[in-house]
Chain A
Amino acid sequence: MSSTYGGPETGSVAATSSTLGLRAPRRLTRSRAGRMTLRLLLYGVAVFIFVLPLWTLVATAFSGGLARLGQVMLLPKHATFGNLTQAWNLGVARGLLNSVVVAVVGLTLQLTVSTLAAHALARRRFRGSTVVLLLILATMMMPEEVIAVPLFQVLGKIPQPFTGGTLVNSYAGLTLPLVGWALPVFVLTGFMRRIPLELEEAARVDGASDFRILTRIIVPLCLPALGTCAVFGFLMIWDQYLLPLLVAQSPDMNTLTVVVTSLQASQEQGEGVKLAAVLVLMVPGVLVYLGLQRLFERGLLSGSLKG
């Protein structure tokens, strides 16, 4: 680590105005060139460790004719979509559909109920508001993995309208437990508190109803915060594993995470097919991150340590 740290001393990263100190005099000495090389080498090591595994996944997923178990590719060999089509037909299509349904419905409900709650918590002092906040905070710390088994039994007690079944093995059972999440409530409450009251008062004088103020004034102003919440909410829902493992009882209800792990355990499929399924699971998260990076980083640093 000391070598990493040694860079700024000799000014090799002077151009980046390192926080680690003053720029030292720029002297192109042999040691400076050495440290520059070392730095480039360390960049290479970081990329090798954190990015190359993901690249081999892509390359292997598109390679045909992998003979050996455990073999992965640095470059696609006999490039093919065959693995992807095969994985697609082995449940990935259905899993992707289920995961998308759960993510879209769950995220919409999550953002809606969080916005409503945040509006009440941000604007009104009422009896019990502190208790409500504490209650929501408590659920944030409540490990969902720990209540998974009793949650499964509770889902078995809740009847499903029309079908006569329970929430077990249903989309509702996969989705509804994910709706009440403390993180967006807190992020949105904090954000709404910073919106000037005068805006609302002006609208109220003009005769706008409370709900209209929320939908026409508050929500449009909250779009950046809502974007941040959407990114984190999506990743949280997409990551779900234990809940669908318990709730999905028939293969056609499996979400993508469950499909991927059951494919992973199969003896017949080669690494190409398995990793093609993993690729389908991985891509949405990466796209959301790369597309909405600014929203993502803001959320990450606004004190919202992963909930």
Chain B
Amino acid sequence: MPWLYLAPVLVFIGVFKLWPTIWGVYLSFFHVRPYLGNQYVAGANYQRAFSDPDLRAAVVHTVIDAVGAVAGSILVGFALALLLEGPARHLRILRTAVFLPTVVAMVAAASLWQTLLYPSRYGAVNSLLGAFGAGPAPFLSSTHSSLASVILIQVWKNAPYDMVIFVAGLAGIDRQLYEAAHIDGAGALQRLRYVTLPSLRPITTIVLTLGIIRGLRVFTEIWVATSGGPAGSTQSVVTYIYQQFSENNDAGYAAAIGTLLLAVTIVLTCLNLWWRNRREAW
């Protein structure tokens, strides 16, 4: 009987998750030619992946983006949590307002910032910079600042999410720890350093590691804001996969990169779980 209840979800996961995964691994060993049939090429797609300078650049961008966006969100989210934590009504309202970017669809957020970061002096952010005598900055349209701009968009969208997690974490800290520290003569900064930060370390580690692993598959924010450009300066692994498939019509190569990314994700996830279990065992 239990299988009857499990059947629907297993069918959906089987057809739309497992089958594509297996099909992707299979496809990665073929040269996919529309209308001509697939040609078995053994490891040629993988060989190509390991010597492809564009893919290497995409990997570097992806890692920078994942680490930068996650670390930035944690820092800003933590600062927001310290500022807005507390049960008072005005703080609740402020938290609700600040949280809004998180529930805006990623496509909407990226489109909005693409407009706000418009690279002429009439662009919203540039006219603000202009008021201080700076700019206009090219933001998304220059190879030097495009990746940083994309990271800023992600921090804007994700920091409020981290704020909520930290607010919950702060509320869960035993108040007596602060009292004890206070009696021992610890100042505000010392209490932050020796009570708050150690108490939040476990949750920060989880947010950081999961966020970086998840960040390796960044697509939407980059594709909407820059389409991987200018000159490939924001190309991520998944935007590169999409390009190989949709523009170069090379599904086999796209599948090979996808399989590699999947393998990296699995290895990192297992390492993370193993590392966390080991720490807990101590």
Contact = CB atoms under 8 A, between A and B. Distances in A.
**Most chain B CB neighbours (cut-off 10 Å) among A56, A72, A132:** A72
Interface in A256-304: 257, 260-261, 264, 271, 274-275, 278, 281-282, 285-286, 288-290, 293, 296-297, 300-301
17 contacts: A8-B188, A16-B91, A18-B85, A18-B86, A21-B181, A53-B101, A69-B122, A71-B124, A145-B217, A153-B23, A179-B16, A245-B242, A260-B111, A264-B114, A271-B115, A281-B105, A282-B108
* Interface size bracket, B side: 35 or more
Interface stretch (A81-89, A200-208, A222-230, A233-241): A233-241
A121 B1 CA distance: 11
B107 A257 contact: yes
Contact of A22 (B123, B179, B216, B242): B179
Contacts of A114: 9
Given A51-B100, A72-B115, A149 B251 contact: yes
Nearest to A45: B83
A216 B45 CA distance: 54
Given A20-B192, A49-B156, A306-B161, A285 B103 contact: yes
A126 B80 CA distance: 46
A177 B16 contact: yes
Nearest to B186: A21
A176 B12 contact: yes
A5 B182 contact: no
B170 interface: yes
Given A150-B258, A153-B27, A282 B104 contact: yes
A47 B12 contact: no
A69 B120 contact: yes
Interface of A: 1-2, 4-6, 8-9, 13, 15-22, 39, 42-43, 46-47, 49-51, 53-54, 56-57, 60, 68-72, 112-114, 116-117, 119-121, 124, 126, 129, 132, 135-136, 139, 141-143, 145-154, 158, 176-177, 179-180, 185, 210, 235, 238-239, 241-242, 245-246, 257, 260-261, 264, 271, 274-275, 278, 281-282, 285-286, 288-290, 293, 296-297, 300-301, 305-306
Contact of A70 (B99, B123, B179, B182): B123
Contacts of A5: 82, 188-189, 192
A80 B1 CA distance: 60
A2 B189 CA distance: 7
Contact of B2 (A54, A126, A135, A300): A126
Contacts of B196: 20
Contacts of A271: 115
Given A5-B82, A148-B258, 18 more contacts: A20-B188, A42-B83, A53-B113, A53-B156, A54-B104, A69-B118, A116-B9, A143-B214, A145-B217, A146-B241, A146-B262, A246-B246, A257-B105, A271-B115, A275-B111, A281-B107, A305-B165, A305-B206
Interface string B213-245: 010110110011000000000000010011001
A264 B9 contact: no
A116 B1 CA distance: 11
A261 B111 contact: yes
9 nearest A-B residue pairs (beta carbon)? A70-B118, A180-B12, A150-B24, A16-B86, A120-B5, A151-B20, A120-B2, A70-B123, A180-B13
